[in-house]
């Protein structure tokens, strides 16, 4: 287990600090975001510490995609969502705050008003 001291998601993965866990297996943990942007917003997180997507072995890719699909389908059922966003921020310039790679799964409904990325005018 490559844990990084003072990494909040490493601590969550090891059960050292609590989370609202929705799923766990050997390589991943899924828990609800502490500040959800929509009800059910959850995070798919590898248990090992990789700072960004660029550090995560691509061999985990299939597992991640399977888990994202599973969580998206769960949210469509449980939250009656009509769709979901998969968001993955790489480096602070792109909005990454927690430097332990994680995948946001965000339930969406028609007309929910959530605007993920504001497009700039061409001006
Ligand atoms: P980022 O901006 O790095 O892609 O997203 C980090 C996410 O982690 C944020 O949505 C934030 O609300 C969430 N988060 C930060 N600290 C904690 C925590 O201690 N517990 C949980 N459950 N979520 C957290
Ligand atoms: Zn970590």
pLDDT in tens, 68-91: 999 999 999 999 999 999 999 999
Per the DSSP assignment, residues forming a β-bridge with 89 are none
- 3-state secondary structure (DSSP) of residue 74: helix
**Is 84 inside a domain boundary?**
yes
Which pLDDT does position 103 carry in this prediction? 98
Site to substitute for ligand 1 among 33, 86, 104, most atoms within 8 A of C-beta: 33
**Is 118 inside a domain boundary?**
no
Of 73, 80, 77, 87, the closest CA to residue 36 belongs to: 87
Choice between 123 and 14, residue whose per-residue pLDDT is larger: 14
What is the count of structural domains for the chain?
Answer: 1
Rounded to the nearest angstrom, the distance between the alpha carbon of 102 and the centre of ligand 2 is: 10
Six-digit token pair at 115?
A: 């605007």
**Is 69 inside a domain boundary?**
yes
33 Cβ below 6 A of ligand 1: yes
Rounded to the nearest angstrom, the distance between the alpha carbon of 82 and the centre of ligand 2 is: 32
| C-alpha count within 13 angstroms, C-beta hemisphere, residue 37 | 16
Give the mean model confidence (pLDDT) for residues 95-109. Answer: 98
Q: Model confidence at 118, in pLDDT bands (50, 70, 90)? A: confident
Rounded to the nearest angstrom, the distance between the alpha carbon of 45 and the centre of ligand 2 is: 9
Q: Model confidence at 1, in pLDDT bands (50, 70, 90)? A: low
Which pLDDT does position 91 carry in this prediction? 98
Q: Model confidence at 11, in pLDDT bands (50, 70, 90)? A: very high
Check if the beta carbon of residue 85 is closer than 8 Å to that of residue 108. Answer: yes
**Is 116 inside a domain boundary?**
no
**Is 121 inside a domain boundary?**
no
Which ligand neighbours the alpha carbon of 4 most closely?
2
**Ligand 1 closest atom vs CA 98:** 3
98 Cβ below 6 A of ligand 1: yes
Q: Model confidence at 99, in pLDDT bands (50, 70, 90)? A: very high
Residue-by-residue DSSP string for 7-40: -HHHHHHTTSS---EEEE-SSEEEEE-SS-SSTT
Of 48, 53, 46, the closest CA to residue 89 belongs to: 53
CATH number at residue 89: 3.30.428.10
How does pLDDT run across 18-44, given as a tens digit for each residue?
999 999 999 999 999 999 999 999 999
**Is 120 inside a domain boundary?**
no
Q: Which pairing describes strands 42-46 and 21-24: parallel, antiparallel, or unpaired?
A: unpaired
**Is 1 inside a domain boundary?**
no
Of 101, 19, 86, the closest CA to residue 53 belongs to: 101
**Is 20 inside a domain boundary?**
yes
Residue 75 lies in domain:
8-108
């Amino acid at each position: 287990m490559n844990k990084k001291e003072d990494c909040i998601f490493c601590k969550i993965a090891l059960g050292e600090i609590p989370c609202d866990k929705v799923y766990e297996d050997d390589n991943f943990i899924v828990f609800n975001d502490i500040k959800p942007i929509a009800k059910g917003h959850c995070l798919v997180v590898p248990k090992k510490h990789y700072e960004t997507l660029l550090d995560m072995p691509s061999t985990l890719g299939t597992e991640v995609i399977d888990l994202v699909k599973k969580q998206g389908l769960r949210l469509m059922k449980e939250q009656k969502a009509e769709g979901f966003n998969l968001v993955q921020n790489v480096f602070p310039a792109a909005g990454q705050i927690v430097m332990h790679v994680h995948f946001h799964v965000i339930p969406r409904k028609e007309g929910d008003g959530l605007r993920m990325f504001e497009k700039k005018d061409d001006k």
